[in-house]
Amino acid sequence: MIGLFFLFSFKFSEIKNGHSLVIEFNHFVGNDKLILDSLMYKNEFKQSYSISKFRYYISNIKLKRKDGTEYVSNEYYLIDIEDKKSQQIVIHEKGYYSSISFTIGVDSLRNCSGLQKGVLDPVKGMFWAWNTGYIFLKLEGKSTYSKSPSNIFEYHIGGFKQPNNCIRQVTLDLTEKSFQKVGDDADFLSILVDISEVLKTPKSIDFKELSSVTDFNNASMMADNYADMFSVIK
C-alpha cells in the first residue's frame, strides 16, 4: 500500500486526536519512482535526463461531498521532493468525497501581499522578486542533450498576469475506493504525480531546443503541460 510507511512515520501525531483525511503526493516519472540525481529517465524525444530538484505550490483545496457541499481550505502548501513531510497534507475533516480540486500555484492576492511567512517566505527559494511574484513549480536536472552550461535544464514556472498566467486548476473525481481506512481516526488519499508530464502534452520539450524557462517566455506553455500531472491512486 503506497505511502502508509510515511503516514505512520511522519503524520501519526497529527491524526490521533480526531478524524482526519491524509492526502499524500507520490512522485513518479512515467512508471518509475522518482529518485533524485541518479536514476535516468527519457523524454518524448528519447533524450536521457536526471532530476535534481522538484517542488511546487498547492493551494485552495476543495473537497466536494456527495451532497454537493464543500470543504474549503485556504492554506498554501509547498510540496518538495526533498522533504517527505511536505508531501503529505492533513485535513481535519471527516467524510468521503466525490471530488478534490486544488490550484497549482499561488493566487494573485498572495502574489501581491508583500512579505509573508511559512511556506510563502521568500527564503524557501520560490520567489523571484517583489515585482514578479512566486515560482509555482520548479524542475531542475541534467541532460547531455541540453546546451546550457554543465548540461543542466531548469524550468521555473510562475506568473499570474495575462497573457502569461500560469495558475492552473486541477479536479480529480473520487469514489469510496479512492480512500484507504487507517484505524478509526484517519482516511488516506494517495495522489500520483507524474513529473514526465511537465515535459509533454500538449507540448513535448526537446532539451536541445528549450533547456531553460525562468521568466514569462514559454511559461504558460509549461503550465499547460503540468496541469495534467495528477491522478488518483486507486
DSSP string, 36-95: TTTS-EE-TT--EEEEEEEEEEEEEEEEEETTS-EEE---EEEEETT-GGGGEEEE---S
Whole-number pLDDT of residue 1:
42
Query: Which residues are 101's β-sheet partners?
Result: 62, 171
In whole angstroms, what is the distance from residue 45 CA to residue 185 CA? 46
Q: Where are the domains of the chain?
A: 4-232
What residues have CB less than 8 Å from 223, skipping those under 6 apart?
104, 105, 136, 137, 157, 166, 167, 168
Instruction: Reduce the DSSP state of residue 25 to 3 states and report it.
Output: strand
Q: What is the pLDDT of residue 14?
A: 52
Q: Which long-range contacts (CB under 8 A, 24 or more apart) does 62-71 make?
A: 62/100, 62/101, 62/102, 63/21, 63/91, 63/93, 63/97, 63/99, 63/100, 64/97, 64/98, 64/99, 64/100, 64/101, 65/95, 65/96, 65/97, 65/98, 66/96, 66/97, 66/98, 71/97
Report pLDDT for 4: 46
pLDDT by position in tens, the chain (length 234): 444 444 444 444 454 455 789 999 999 999 999 999 989 999 999 999 999 999 999 999 999 998 889 999 999 999 999 999 999 999 988 777 999 999 999 998 888 776 688 999 999 999 987 677 899 999 999 999 999 999 999 999 999 989 999 999 999 999 988 988 776 678 899 999 999 999 999 999 999 999 999 999 999 999 999 999 999 976
